Amino acid sequence: MAILNTDIEQQPNQPSKLSDDDKKIIKYINGNTSEEYIEIIRQDSSWPVFFQLSEMRWGLYSWYDFGENSNLLEVGAGYGALTGLFCSKCRKVTATEKSPARAEALVKRFESISNLEVCIGDAATMDFQKKFDFIILTGILERQGGGSSDKKVYAEYLQKLKKLLTPAGKILIAVENRFGLKYICGAIEPHTGKPFDGLNHYPFGTGGYSFTKEEMIAILKLAGLESYKFYYPLPDYKIPQIIYSQNYLPQTRVGERLVPYYVNKDSLIAVENDMYDDVVENGVFEFFANSFLIECSMGATACSVDYAAVTVDRGHEQGTVTAIHNTKRVTKQAVFTEGIKNIIGLCQNIWDLQRRGIPAIEVTMEKDTAVMPMITEQLASVYLKQAVLDRKIDLYVFFEQLHRHILMSSEHVLAKDNALLFDEKAVDSSEYGVILSKAYIEMIPMNAFWINDDFLFFDQEFVYQNYPAGYVLFRAIKNTYIFIPEAERLAPLNEIKNHFKLDQVWDIYEKQDMKFLKRVRKMEENKAFYAWTDINRERIYKKSALLTHKDEIIEDYKVSDKMKKIWEVQLRLVEKIEKVCDEKHLKFYIIRGTLLGAVRHKGFIPWDDDIDIALPREDYEKLIHLPQHVFGEDYFLQTAENDTDCFYGIYARLRDNNSTAFEMKDWGRRCQQGIWIDIFPLDSYDQDERFRKRQNKKIDRLYELLTAKTYRKEMYRFGELNIAKWKWYKFITVFVRRQTLINMLNTCCLKCKNPSREFIGIFTHYKERKIFYKEDFSDVVLLEFEHRKLPAPIGYKRCLEMSVAKDYMLYPPVEKRVPHHHGIFIPELPYAVFNNRYMHSFQDIQDKTIILFGAGLMVEDYLKKFGKKYPPAFLVDNNSDKWGTRKCGIEVRNPQEILNVHADRRKLFICNVYYKQIEKQLKNMGVTDYCIYVQDRNWILEDENKE
């Protein structure tokens, strides 16, 4: 089993604070086997979980020959996303991790592996008492300088590691390129989370520094590692699919086999895949490569592989790596042992094609590896594109030639044996044409060379039994017209379909092809990754017109960056509700403004700041009575019953615990006040109009009483009530239990003497009832909402007519395009932190040194109100002219003096209207324990709403 070594570290190691993502990943590792990680990733689509648990990351090193007797050191192994690969390839693996919690999880993950030792601490300071053949730095080097651009810092770190190498040892370094093409296109910078920061040399600071190629070369030379070879993983080193090298650069058609991904697509202003051909043709690919993988040493022979294509996403049985070596040979191996059978089958398919007279590449098996000669001629797809662009090809002749090979590739069987007849009965069996006993479905231009005006096929690993020859031809034609749209000008696709008798079966083949792609690419298991690959070109193109605006303009409304962050949180809340409802078999619908946004904008209404969903009352009751652990630590399902220090209504809200959102009446209250989505029950509708009027009146009165009971002196009036009546409500509710009022309100909303067969409604909102046709909620339809599909009522159009207006597609006047809620919204700050920082500042203040940051009028206000009870030891101010002077008898000092008081012993208050700028200053100083002195809460509200 894996060994945990805590004795090597030379310097004392400080336990690192675990983030919520860390806690979640550790929980997954401790509670599941590695075989269950695929399902975990499918259910939890967050990037940190995918990054730490997915085997798709194996593509970075799966092609590299470490040698089965090698001794390897992995620096900063994290949770072991790559460690399992190294253990399968090397005799002995030593993994280091500074975080004890991560190291323990790493051992747990690989507890059944005997050749792994995990050491806690920094590899550069450890005395291993042994040398290593390989040292792996994956995303580690950039963080060694604390954001510094000084090359010496990184060179010195590599010099320390170099001492751990055997004479022929190598260091493999994976790093980001600041000038990577995806960052040129607007992808967020990995170290700061902001687009273009790396291009601008991190103007606001950074915890990590990405290098250009020339910077990396300079660092390697300073470190004495002057033997190096650059590789270029695409789309990046995190989830690579293709790996070029300085000895084998792309010639053209990079986008044909590449699927870029973006965890955050909002900042993209150009389409990366569309730019690669231009970058390649202009000879600047190496400068714009997204990532570098550098093999460096003190003179060792470089790896023989010059190019690799990896398909780890295809799973254990079909994941492969194809490598081109500098020895002029090509190898194809299985990434996992379960895939060796697939490699053998691929060779057998090539041999079978050759026996039938089909031009196919020579291939032999050496142990578990398929070996082929290196072919220098161009791919048939490359030839085809250039010929189309030059208008020097007859596409009918080209595909006729391909069709003849397809027909010769296998014996023909009877039409009744067609495998598609069992799945598809929409057309007559004669429409399918020739049926092949074995259909090699990869006999397409992308999988063939073009030599002497003919095809030479390779990589024929997928075979369908008793399948139409037309399906193979369909795949070739379909891919051609996708990747070479100019082909439409030479031969319209509809005419090509008709010529090859594919028009009647095209849709059937399309359906079968989607099944094939979903299965071979494991789209269900890897749905998170494929969601990241889906980009909205139209939205990207529109952004070029918005670059003169600070914020995005949508439908003539300025959507701030802060609003988009609020939306991101709300979308996560919807995903959580969707997951819980799916697991518990509960039905929900988007309604009200959210439904209107889906129909009119395919997402949020630009001026909307919340999400509304509804459930049938029976499902709603099941939802609100689920235990809180079902929703996870990051969320809280809030109701009037389970959070008594606030009241918004008799419906539910799902809150995000890692954000802040509240209306000013809830300032200082101890209830959960993170960003939320509203969850309403759909209740029965009484046919008796007089009963409904009495019911509505009673509901409103109980709302008013519950608000008075909850807020009392904090609110001077409520709704349309006059002051006298509001005071009376506050008085009488002293004698009534809050829960009694809640029970009465629940009973009133549910009461229905003569249920309508035609209508249902939402009655749990003050002064606002929504009535709908029951049949409109008889089923759901999925509508697009911010690049995802959300369930809506099947009769959503009539729902909008009843809840919004008949002309719901028309925009309101500009002056009415405003957010619904007026309060404080901070997406990045947990409410518990906000509460302690702004509202409950004087807790835990006993026996602490009080420091005030400021020396102006606000300090005078503090001293007047709290100076006797909580006197400050000294003041600090950024104006150096004030240092050494006294304000109200208290000395003013340099802000650096804050650091002279231990964090556990100080209580720091920012007493300044420019508190946000001071917060940034304190953060740069490493000070996070402070409070904001609130002289006037409206200032805070104004500052937050400015954003």
User: Which one, of 5, 168, 24, lies nearest residue 77 by Cα?
Assistant: 5
- Encoding tokens for residue 392? 């020097």
DSSP one-letter code for 896: G
Question: Is residue 567 exposed (0-12), middle (13-18) or buried (19+ Cβ within 10 Å)?
Answer: buried
| DSSP H stretches of helix in 110-202 | 151-162, 181-184
> For residue 140, which phi and psi values (nearest 5 degrees)?
-105, -40
How confident is the model at residue 945, as a pLDDT?
Answer: 65
Q: What is the pLDDT of residue 288?
A: 96
Q: Rounded to whole angstroms, how far apart are CA atoms 253 and 235?
A: 14
Cα–Cα distance measured from residue 437 to residue 439, given in angstroms and rounded to the nearest whole number? 7
In 319-360, at which residue ranges do the beta strands (DSSP E only) sit?
320-325, 329-334
Closest by CA position to 483, among listed 381, 389, 380, 379: 381
Global pTM exceeds 0.75: no
Cα–Cα distance, 696 to 917 (Å, whole number): 49
CA angle 493, 499, 505 (to 5 degrees): 75
CB environment 489-499: b (16+ within 10 A), e (fewer):
ebbebeebbee
- Side chain identity at 640, as an amino acid letter? A
H helix or E strand, kind and range, residue 696: helix 689-711
Residue type, 569: V
How far, in Å, are 36, 213, 297 from residue 129 at the CA level? 37, 34, 20
pLDDT value for 550:
47
Beta bridge partners of 876: 853, 893
pLDDT of residue 12: 47
Cα separation, 588 vs 613, whole angstroms: 7
Is beta strand 612-616 parallel, antiparallel or unpaired with respect to 589-590? antiparallel
- In degrees, rounded to 5, the angle at the alpha carbon of residue 940 between the alpha carbons of residues 939 and 946 is 90
Q: Which of 717, 737, 740 is nearest to 727 (CA)?
A: 717
Short-list 676, 671, 645, CA closest to 661: 676
| CB-based contact 876:852 (threshold 8 Å) | yes
> Which residues lie closer than 8 Å to 402 by C-beta, 6 or more apart?
443, 445, 455, 473, 476
Q: What are phi and psi of 316, to 5 degrees?
A: -70, -30
> For 487-591, where are the alpha helices, taking DSSP H only?
487-490, 493-499, 506-520, 527-533, 537-543, 561-584
Mention every residue, 6+ apart, whose C-beta is less than 8 A from residue 572: 656
Residues with pLDDT less than 50, the chain: 12-14, 549-550
CA separation for the pair 666, 835 (Å, rounded): 11
On whether the CB atoms of residues 367 and 344 are closer than 8 A, the answer is: no
Integer angstrom CA distances of residue 884 from 190, 879, 887: 43, 11, 10
The percent of the chain in helix, strand and coil, each rounded to the nearest 5, is 40, 20, 40
User: What per-residue confidence (pLDDT) applies to 9?
Assistant: 63
Contact 746, 650 (CB under 8 A): yes
CA distance readout (Å), 510 to 475, 478, 502: 9, 9, 11
Intra-chain end-to-end CA distance of the chain, in Å: 54
| 613: nearest Cα among 751, 774, 760, 762 | 762
